[in-house]
Structure formats: structure tokens, C-alpha cells
Amino acid sequence: MSTVGGLEHPIDPLADAPPEGWVAGRSPWALAAHKLVRNRMAMAALAVFLGIVVVSFMGPFYADHIAHTDPFTSQLTATTVINGKRVDVLQQGGGVLKLGETPIGPTWQRNYFLGADSQGRDVAARVLYGGRTSLTIGIGSAVICSLLAVIVGMVAGFYGGVTDSIISRGLDVVWAFPVYLLAISIATVLLTQGLTIGPFSISASSLWLPTLIIAVIYVPYVARPVRGAVLSVREKEFIEAAIAQGASNRRLIFNEILPNVITVLIVLLPLMIATTILTESALSYLSIGVQPPNASWGTIINDGQQLLYTRPWVAIAPGIMIVLTVLSLNVFGDGVRDALDPRAKLRVKD
């Protein structure tokens, strides 16, 4: 970007060549990017996160070509080969009565690497598929939430007055609502019958439902800082200059204010994805998030709860994936904030 503070540098028409000792100016974006790239912790975290994304989206490949299994249908009578012997995936329970069935534990081979769940499905393949779902919902809802929040925060901050008061009071009320309770309320109601607004209808088992619910509940948390940034940018002199030039509202919003507010979003986005992934897993764990036949890390942890003492890997594996994903996003997000947020410069003095 060649603009600083939204205005282009005035160019001196008499200067043909840069004067001696002239140092090429670097935009704040380039400086921030440079700072971020040099932050080794943040880069390592980004690598871990991208690794998890790639591996998760390889789920179908793993299921088809490595584990040779379908992770979404019950495999109650499936068998697998261990040490050259063919064994049932669901083994008869022990004891005199041989009651109940225990799924096979981790084989640490291509097939049933992490064992099977109570329906004989390959846990490793499910964790990968689940990761795809969790990441899609996490990233999707964070992006949708940011878009909504920019619109809301921008309108409130730019137009001010009554519009601002109404929007801000509304955000206050949603803010006063505990996040999980709001999500639970909306999810319980929508999960039985889906959502129908006019011509649009979303079925109850659609992934759009948890994505939209999570996106909506976090809007106030992003809209507030956006509104604050708009309010402070609006008072700057370059806005006054643009108004003096006869800039339309549209130009003011999109060309002058938006580029200066976007840093707020960039700083928040990685941390928001971390939060939305955690929220999705909690809702799915409570069985009001992702619905079967889809799986997410949260639903797999829920499946694993019944098998916790006999086959703990069903619950351990998706949990580790969540911790790694969220941790890498948090570390990366900290790096982005340090690189972009001027206030952080005051703070980090070590």
C-alpha cells in the first residue's frame, strides 16, 4: 500500500530522482509483516496451524486410501487384521456373562490407528473428518462474525447520533448475555426444526446452523472495538481533508475509514478463530452443535465419554487436536497483535 493514514503522499513534480541519502519509505503494513515474519514463535505457530488444516482436509484421502474405511457408517461386524490374525472390531465384553461390546483399541497401524468407537468406526479417520468440520465452522463463523461486526460497528461509529445509541444499547444487551447461554438458547430452539426466514431455509443438521449461531453471538465483542476505531479515525484530519474535497459518504467509508479500521479485525481474527473453535467444540459436546451424521472434534469427545475408561483414545485424540489448534492460533494471534497494534509497542519492553 502506498498510502499512509489514508492519504497519498504529495508528490513533488520538480523532483526527478530521489535526493541523496534517500531511504525508501516502507508502509506500516510492510513493517508489521516484517516484524511478524521475524517473530519465530508466531511463525512456528502458524506452521502448526496450517499443518493441522492440511492434515484435516486430507481426511477423505486418509479414509479412502490409507485406512480403507467409511468413518460415517456403523461397522458393527467389521474385522481387521492384527499380527496376521483377523479380529472383530467390536469385541464381546469380558466377564462371565460376556455382556456388552468393547470396540478395538489403538492398533497403531494403517487401519484403526486409534481404535474404533462404539459403532466400530475408525477413530483416526473420524478425528480428521471432525477437524475439517471444526475448522470450517471455526473459520467460517469468525469471518461471518467479522463481516457483520464491521457493518454494525461502521454504521454506529460513522453515522453516530440516534443510530449509534440504538445500536450500542442493543449490543450492550447482547453483551450482558453470557455467551454460552445465548448460544444454548438459540441452538436448542433451532435444532429441532431448523431455521426458516422467508425463502431461505436451513435444515437442522446443516453445518450452517452452528456456524451462524456462533457468528452472531460474538458480534458485540468485535463490533465494539470496530466502532471505537471508527470513532477515533473519523476525527482525524485526513477525513476532514477528504470531506473538504467533496468526498461522498461511500468514499469516506470505503476508501478512508475502512483501511484504517481493518487492523482491528486483523488483530482480532486469529484470536476469534481460536474462540469460535472452542465454542463449537463445547456446543457439540453438549450435543447442540454439529449434528450426526456429521462429526466434529466436540462430538467425538462426547462419543468418547462413554468409552473413557475402556478406550480413552477416542476422547484424548480430538482433545489434543483442539488444544494444538487453539494454542497455535493464540500464539500466532499474539504475534500479529505485537506486530500491528501500536499499543502493544508500549507494552512489550523486554
Partner 1 sequence: MLTFVIRRMIATVFVVFTITVLVFLIFFHTPGVDPARKLAGRNPSPDTIKAIKHQYGLDRPLPVQYLILMKKLFISRDLTSYSNQGQKVVPEIVAATPVTLSLVLGAAVIWVVVSILMGVAAAVLRGTIFDPMLMVLALIGISMPVFWLGEMANLITQDRYHDTFLFSWVPPLGYTPLTQDPVMWFKHLVIPWLVLSVLYIGLYARVLRADLLETENEDYVRTARAKGLSERRVLLRHTLRTSMISFVSLFGLDFGVLVGGGALLVEVVFALPGVGLLTYQSLISLDLPVIMATVIYGAIFIVIANAVVDVGYAWLDPRVRPA
Nearest distance from residue 191's CB to partner 1, in Å? Answer: 8
The DSSP bridge pattern shows strands 195-197 and 85-88 to be: unpaired
> Which of 2, 77, 192, 245 forms a contact with partner 1 (CB under 8 A)?
192
* Omega of the bond leading into 293 within 30 degrees of 0 (cis): yes
Q: Which of 290, 277, 269 is nearest to 326 (CA)?
A: 277
Q: Which of these ranges, 80-88, 98-106, 240-248, 297-305, lies near partner 1 under the rule CB under 8 A?
A: 297-305
Residue 287 is a binding residue for partner 1 (CB under 8 A): yes
> Which of 162, 173, 244, 250 forms a contact with partner 1 (CB under 8 A)?
173
Cell of 348: 512489550
Residue 309 is a binding residue for partner 1 (CB under 8 A): yes
Nearest distance from residue 246's CB to partner 1, in Å? Answer: 37
Give just the sign of the alpha carbon dihedral 308, 312, 314, 316.
Answer: positive
> Residue 47 or residue 323: which is nearer to partner 1 going by CB?
323
Q: Which of 331, 201, 217, 197 is nearest to 283 (CA)?
A: 217
Q: Which of these ranges, 60-68, 140-148, 193-201, 213-221, lies near partner 1 under the rule CB under 8 A?
A: 193-201
The DSSP bridge pattern shows strands 7-8 and 3-4 to be: antiparallel
> Which of 47, 81, 189, 241 forms a contact with partner 1 (CB under 8 A)?
189
Q: Which helix (H) or strand (E) holds 91?
A: strand 90-92
Q: Which of 45, 215, 207, 49 is nearest to 130 (CA)?
A: 207
> Which of 331, 336, 339, 340 forms a contact with partner 1 (CB under 8 A)?
331
HSE (side-chain half, CA atoms, 13 Å) at 258: 14
Residue 282 is a binding residue for partner 1 (CB under 8 A): yes
Q: How far, in Å, CA of 104 to CA of 112, rounded?
A: 8
Nearest distance from residue 319's CB to partner 1, in Å? Answer: 4
Residue 225 is a binding residue for partner 1 (CB under 8 A): no
Residue 346 is a binding residue for partner 1 (CB under 8 A): yes
What's the DSSP call for residue 288? S
Q: Which of 265, 263, 258, 257 is nearest to 234 (CA)?
A: 257
Residue 61 is a binding residue for partner 1 (CB under 8 A): no
* Contacting residues toward partner 1, per CB under 8 A: 172-173, 176-178, 180-181, 184-186, 188-190, 192-197, 201, 274, 278, 281-282, 285-288, 298, 301, 304-305, 308-309, 312, 315-316, 318-319, 322-323, 326-327, 330-331, 334, 346-347, 349-350
